[in-house]
Amino acid sequence: MQLQKPMASTLAEADRIVEAARSAGRICRVTEDYVFIDSIRALRDVVAGGEIGDPLSLHTKLVGTGPGAWDVRSDSWRWLMPNGRVAG
């Protein structure tokens, strides 16, 4: 199974996910695959729609917030901070 990071809000939740993967004989992979970023979703739609033909390669450059970066809607990450707190 592939999970977008963070995999859980608490260690106990993460432990349950890991155990479920083990019980099912599956590998649990945690990545930051950016599937919820609007610009990545728009690119996916352009490629899937055939507007640019079949891509031969893909190169991305991800930068932090600030000049040169795209805006990421806060509702895409606010769930990470229940009660306004960040885990850690």
pLDDT in tens, 37-47: 777 788 889 88
Which tens digit of pLDDT belongs to each residue from 21-37?
Answer: 999 999 888 887 677 77
Which tens digit of pLDDT belongs to each residue from 47-84?
Answer: 899 988 888 887 776 665 555 555 666 777 676 666 65
Strands 29-31 and 2-4: parallel
The chain-wide mean pLDDT, for the chain, equals 78
Q: Please report, as a single letter, which amino acid is at residue 43.
A: L
pLDDT of residue 83: 62
- pTM value? 0.43
Q: Distance between CA 4 and CA 79 in Å, rounded?
A: 13
Please, what sign has the CA dihedral across residues 42, 44, 50, 54?
Answer: positive
Q: Please report, as a single letter, which amino acid is at residue 72.
A: V
Task: Write down the H helix ranges in the chain.
Answer: 11-23, 38-48
